[in-house]
Amino acid sequence: SSKVTTRTLSRMKQKGEPIAMLTAYDYPSAKLAEAAGVDVILVGDSLGMVVLGYDSTVPVTLDDMTHHTKAVVRGAERAMVVADLPFLTAHLGKEEVLRAAGRLMQEGGAQGVKMEGGEAIVDAVRACTAAGIPVMGHLGLTPQSVHQLGGYRIQGKDAEMARRILREARMLEEAGIFALVLECVPEELAREITGAVSVPTIGIGAGRHCDGQVLVYHDVLQMASDIRPSFVKTYAEVGKQIVDALRRYVEDVRERRFPEEEHVFHSPEVQAALYGG
């Protein structure tokens, strides 16, 4: 089937067809997401936490994002690939944002970029959309602001904050975003925003009424961390399977059970020369 585009996603919202988005960070994870029929692959800056071992997304650089985006793009076919703009980039002025977003698309090969934030980044969003760069918004819990928010916690629980998020969703829509991630907000607010904006909403910890859902690859597969947020549904315990397999390998080496005859190369000529046939 043909490549997913911003138009595909818009049509899916109109028809009420849920959008399945998943993060991926390298060639193999992109290939597996593609094989599973994922519509949008997000090269999230969550890569800082799940593949680079940082304790937040703040240290992730544009070089990191570009490097991983290139690998993901090589593994994606039908899925649209969207890459996160790193910490602070959207606040550095129009030229800096365009340069960074341009690099993720031109060198990285992404079909769009995602930017965290509301009112403060509307001008940056507009600069990108005016330049032909598809922008995905991200409101609610914005992990790049974790140090300001004081932890990874639900946003928009009080009416005032909820109204602000709704207002910012409309501002981003007006600035030309093609989709909007809503992270860790009450289901009631996500439902309201989904009805209020024409672009698809994609939820993570945002309840059942968004136009799509997104989860982090390593969370879905339970591949790394012991921390499991309540909004994550785990579909496999791959991390455990990996450790079991690797442990058996280590034991086989120690017990000289590996390699076996089937894993070995022979040369009759070498055997003859060394041992006289």
The entry of Na ion, ligand KIV, none near residue 214 (CB within 5 to 8 angstroms by kind) is ligand KIV
Dihedral sign of CA atoms 242, 204, 135, 5 in order: positive
Which pair of tokens denotes residue 49?
A: 């936490």
Size of the site for ligand KIV (CB under 6 A): 11
Q: Please report whether residue 219 would count as binding Na ion according to CB under 5 A.
A: no
Closer to ligand KIV at the Cβ: 18 or 262?
A: 18
Rounded to whole angstroms, how far apart are CA atoms 79 and 9?
11
Q: Interface with ligand KIV includes 181 (CB under 6 A)? A: yes
Residues 186, 161: Cα–Cα separation, whole Å = 11
- Candidate ranges 12-20, 38-46, 221-229, 240-248; the one touching ligand KIV (CB under 6 A): 38-46
Query: Which residues are marked as active site?
Result: 183
Cα distances (Å, whole numbers) of residue 214 to 9, 97, 167, 203 = 14, 25, 22, 6
Minimum gap (Å) between residue 69 Cβ and ligand KIV: 12
Q: Is 233 annotated as a binding residue?
A: no
Binding window for ligand KIV (CB under 6 A); candidates: 3-11, 43-51, 123-131, 265-273: 43-51
Task: Determine, following the binding rule CB under 5 A, whether residue 45 of this chain makes contact with Na ion.
Answer: yes
Minimum CB separation of residue 169 from Na ion in Å reads 17
177 burial type by CB count under 10 A (0-12 exposed, 13-18 middle, 19+ buried): buried
Contacted entry of Na ion, ligand KIV, none for residue 216, CB cut-off 5 to 8 Å set by kind: ligand KIV
- Residue pointed to by tokens 């029929």: 37
Alpha carbons 161 and 109: distance in angstroms, whole number? 36
Residue 216 contacts ligand KIV per CB under 6 A: yes
Q: Is 136 helix (H, G, I), strand (E, B) or coil?
A: strand
Query: Which CB atom, from 216 or from 220, has the smaller least distance to ligand KIV?
Result: 216
Q: How far is Cα 276 from Cα 255, in angstroms, rounded to an integer?
A: 31
Please indicate if the annotation marks 123 as binding a ligand.
no
Residue type, 269: E
Determine the residue with CB nearest ligand KIV. Answer: 44
Q: Is the peptide bond before 268 cis (omega within 30 degrees of 0)?
A: no
86 vs 186 by CB, closer to ligand KIV: 86
- Which helix (H) or strand (E) segment holds residue 180: the answer is strand 179-183
Largest CA distance in the chain: 89
Pick from 34, 39, 84, 211: which binds ligand KIV (CB under 6 A)? 84
- Token pair in block for residue 42: 């997000």
Binding site feature residues for 3-methyl-2-oxobutanoate? 45-46, 84, 114
Binding site feature residues for Mg(2+)? 45, 84, 116
Binding site feature residues? 45-46, 84, 114, 116
Footprint of ligand KIV (CB under 6 A) = 23, 42, 44-46, 84, 181, 183, 204, 214, 216
